[in-house]
Structure 1
Amino acid sequence: MKSILLGTLVLTASVAFSQTSNLRKAKASYDKFTQVKSMGTPELGANDLNTAREALEKAIEHEKTKDLAETWTYYALVNADLALLDSTDASDGYIKKAVEAREKAISLDTDKQNEQNLSVLNSILAQRELNSGVKAWDSQDFQAAYQAFNNGLTYLPGDTTLLYYSGLAAVNAQQYDKALEKYVELVPVDSFSNNRQIILDVSRLYLMEGDTSNAIKYAELGVQKYPNDKELATQNIELNLMAGNEQGVISAINDQVAKDPDNKNLHYYLGIAYSATNDVENAEAAYRKALEIDPNYLDANINLGGLILNKGIDHFNKTNNANLSQSEYDAEIKKAYDIFDQALPYLEKAVEIDSKSVLALSNLKKYYEIKENKAKVDELDQRIDALQ
């Protein structure tokens, strides 16, 4: 993962005639500070940092140094480090000066002699925004956290730490469009340690935004990049089922079933896909497999009971419309009712598992309507009405 690292300051030589005592003094003092800072104890260099600041305040007023990119670069560096050290409200003032000095330095540095030191400055300014963002996050102010992390990207565009944190803060602030903006930038970064999760989150965020097409696009990308990841595979399957792509997703579900045969949800999804393509036999087998793994799987009981019930209705209707002898007709009607009775255990089980499921109650009611059991139909009507 690319992270925010405070770089090593490069002390560039300057033309002798442009070096005044204040600029030299500031550079020497700042050099002492950075040496202490590199050892992890920047507080011990506070006096040197303030000495550098005082000298630079004179240098930016001096005729020979006020228009030097180097002067403004160091003035920005010093104020940025002061902002990191200061935990009071004065820190904001230092940052303001640092940002303004940075812009001045960039405009003056036409020959790019200060480019490396400006890069160090960017890291310091980004670090300060990162610190501010973490503080806001800890106080549950996710909007302020997002703003700080996003500000950090001004100085370190594409930094994966800041992209991830700003996206995460935006999610918690329920600003999903901003979260997507950051996370999408991380998708191509294979080296990012949470790349798999980012792709999954991007797919989910698009779904939350009502963009099923992009949700599927990123789920499919995730499956391509991480073919053995169960969560991404499931996301891809669920989204395609939601979008009505049952035929196209059957192969993908079967692939996952082969890898995870005891996953009841995969068999259930396979049942949905087969059912949508009118492959009743395979749909029934898939639902039965899901219930073999978990007999109390509510949705599988509902779907299997409904599937068998519809199969019986279809058989009944075909028989009624056929030119059959009475004996043939009676035999076929008996088959239809036998099919209805095969559905009953699953219809009853669904109601047993969830007595408040209107769908489960309605399916059971349909069975008793077919059986012309008025007492049961009235009872189920009352139960359904009580829930609506």
Structure 2
Amino acid sequence: MKKLILSMVLVGAATVAFGQKKVVRSAEKNFKNGDLTTALSEVNAAIQDPETGSDPETYLLKAQIQLKMFGTDSSNTAETLEYGQASLETFMETFQMAGGDKTDGVGEDVYAEDMTGVPDNLRPYSIMTLKNTSFDKAINQYEQDDFEMAYEFFNLAGEIDPTDTTIHYNAAYLANELGKYEDAKRHFNLLLDVPDYNKLNTYYFLIQILSTEDKNPEEAYEVVMAAREDYPGDKILAEYEIQLLLQLNKMDEAMAQIKEALANDPNNTSILLRSGYLKEQSGDIEGALNDYKKSVEVDPNFYEGNYYTGALLLEKSREILAELNSLSDDEWEKRSAQMGEEANQYYSDAIPYFEKSLELRPEDTDIMVILFQIHTRLKNEAEAEQYNKKLTELLGPNWQEN
């Protein structure tokens, strides 16, 4: 009797195992025929069985079914993305069950090279197929201006291949545009780990994010130093270094870098501007004015150079008037005419620089106000009235009270 019962148990177990294998075969058939919902239900049932559920082939089939559901969903919504993420998770689980070897058995199937452009039935439906499918969806959504989902699909493809520079650059660029700065940094930093990749633009983006969005000039400066080791002759990196040294209040180092940069590139307007700023901060007003003026000589349309030159000329005139007002009555009588004329000359010299600034930014009412005040000071009534009318149109009749 015991032998009979044991035989019945063994037969029953074999029948169950055979039944589950039959379910797997049915799932494979439905996968190929496109009945994916049924196929997924069947493979999930097979996973619950101790025998078929311990077979990495079963999990590979599930990942392939999820991948096909991902690929055939053309809506490319967040729900579509969930299919792709689920497929990736199952592929990785399959790979671990198979021993984590890309060169043997099921592990080799998981990472089989995808053959794009061939009929669907010839594609391996591997994790590399998932990568390429996600990349195609990213491009499709980008072309439809759906940048949020384009980023998500690039990001999914990037999880599969950390060395694909095209995917990670696109993901990083979109993340930066969308304000996902932590994601952008993650993808940019992956690019820095890829040998022989041209990392210059990656460095630019990282420095900008760290210094502007994160307000972390210390870390941005560290990235600049690493970038300059890779690209020692790059002029933009030299400008970033100077800018960050100024932010960090390292004036001596900044001036040393400015001198070196100007020796290599004497007509660099941005560096001339920073040189002028440093000199102005140190009290060398004439040196600062010369640098500002030179930047405009190099590029007459350099807005900052024009504005800074005009502003420093105004400052010189105001210093003269402040000194004049501090004199005793007797001294004031002796020197007021000469000092007033000198101050007016600086006001007059500032006009063309502010006029050029306004030409470059024609809606800037702050510059209009400055020009109105200068012409009023110089008693240029026609010119002052011209700016008064323009400001009244833009700011209202009571603009001077605001």
Question: Structure 2-normalised TM-score?
Answer: 0.64
Distance in 1, Cα, partners of 2:98 & 2:161: 19
Whether 2:297 is the aligned partner of 1:292: answer yes
Give the 5 Å matches for 1:350-365.
350-351=354-355, 354=358, 356=362, 357-365=364-372
Specify the alignment match of 1:164 in structure 2: 169
Aligned counterpart for 1:151 among listed residues 142, 152, 156: 156
Aligned counterpart for 1:71 among listed residues 57, 60, 63: 57
Specify the alignment match of 1:227 in structure 2: 232
Instruction: Tell me by how many angstroms 1:333 deviates.
Output: 5.8
CA pair 319-265 structure 1, distance change in 2 beyond 3 A: same
Stretch moving more, 280-289 or 376-385: 376-385
Specify the alignment match of 1:341 in structure 2: 345
Distance in 2, Cα, partners of 1:94 & 1:295: 57
Specify the alignment match of 1:176 in structure 2: 181
Whether 2:254 is the aligned partner of 1:249: answer yes
Q: Which amino acid is 2:204 matched to?
A: L
Instruction: Tell me by how many angstroms 1:282 deviates.
Output: 1.1
Any conservation in 1 of the 2:163–2:194 contact (CA below 8 Å)? no
Specify the alignment match of 1:302 in structure 2: 307
CA deviation map 1:285-313 (0-9, x unaligned): 10121222234544333322332332233
Instruction: Tell me by how many angstroms 1:283 deviates.
Output: 0.3
Any conservation in 2 of the 1:72–1:101 contact (CA below 8 Å)? no
Q: Which amino acid is 2:188 matched to?
A: Y
Whether 2:200 is the aligned partner of 1:196: answer yes
Q: Which amino acid is 1:124 matched to?
A: T
Corresponding residue pairs, total: 341
CA pair 350-87 structure 1, distance change in 2 beyond 3 A: same
CA deviation map 1:311-338 (0-9, x unaligned): 2332443455468985x97358625632
CA pair 98-348 structure 1, distance change in 2 beyond 3 A: closer
Q: Aligned with 1:313: secondary structure? A: helix
Distance in 2, Cα, partners of 1:317 & 1:236: 37
Specify the alignment match of 2:98 in structure 1: 109
Distance in 2, Cα, partners of 1:151 & 1:70: 23
Distance in 1, Cα, partners of 2:260 & 2:65: 59
Any conservation in 2 of the 1:298–1:350 contact (CA below 8 Å)? no
Distance in 2, Cα, partners of 1:296 & 1:136: 39
Distance in 1, Cα, partners of 2:85 & 2:327: 87
Specify the alignment match of 2:263 in structure 1: 258
Q: Aligned with 1:228: secondary structure? A: coil
Give the 5 Å matches for 1:28-47.
none
CA pair 366-210 structure 1, distance change in 2 beyond 3 A: farther
Q: Which ranges in structure 2 are unaligned for 5 or more consecutive residues?
A: 1-17, 25-31, 34-38, 113-125, 396-402
Any conservation in 2 of the 1:302–1:346 contact (CA below 8 Å)? no
Specify the alignment match of 2:143 in structure 1: 138
Distance in 2, Cα, partners of 1:374 & 1:243: 46
Q: Which ranges in structure 1 are unaligned for 5 or more consecutive residues?
A: 1-19, 27-45, 48-52
Distance in 2, Cα, partners of 1:342 & 1:334: 13
Give the 5 Å matches for 1:14-25.
none
Specify the alignment match of 2:29 in structure 1: none
Specify the alignment match of 1:40 in structure 2: none
Instruction: Tell me by how many angstroms 1:199 deviates.
Output: 1.3
Aligned counterpart for 2:316 among listed residues 292, 301, 311: 311
Stretch moving more, 134-143 or 371-380: 371-380
CA deviation map 1:258-296 (0-9, x unaligned): 222233333233222322332202101101212222345
Stretch moving more, 244-253 or 147-156: 244-253
Distance in 1, Cα, partners of 2:317 & 2:210: 41
Distance in 1, Cα, partners of 2:267 & 2:66: 57
Q: Which amino acid is 1:205 matched to?
A: I
Identity of aligned residues (%): 17
Whether 2:200 is the aligned partner of 1:211: answer no
Higher relative contact order (CA 8 A, sep 6+): 1
Instruction: Tell me by how many angstroms 1:174 deviates.
Output: 4.2
RMSD: 4.9
Q: Which amino acid is 1:169 matched to?
A: L
Specify the alignment match of 2:122 in structure 1: none
Instruction: Tell me by how many angstroms 1:196 deviates.
Output: 0.9
CA pair 276-362 structure 1, distance change in 2 beyond 3 A: farther
Stretch moving more, 106-115 or 159-168: 106-115
Any conservation in 1 of the 2:203–2:227 contact (CA below 8 Å)? yes
CA pair 76-119 structure 1, distance change in 2 beyond 3 A: farther
Q: Which amino acid is 1:75 matched to?
A: L
Distance in 2, Cα, partners of 1:105 & 1:150: 21
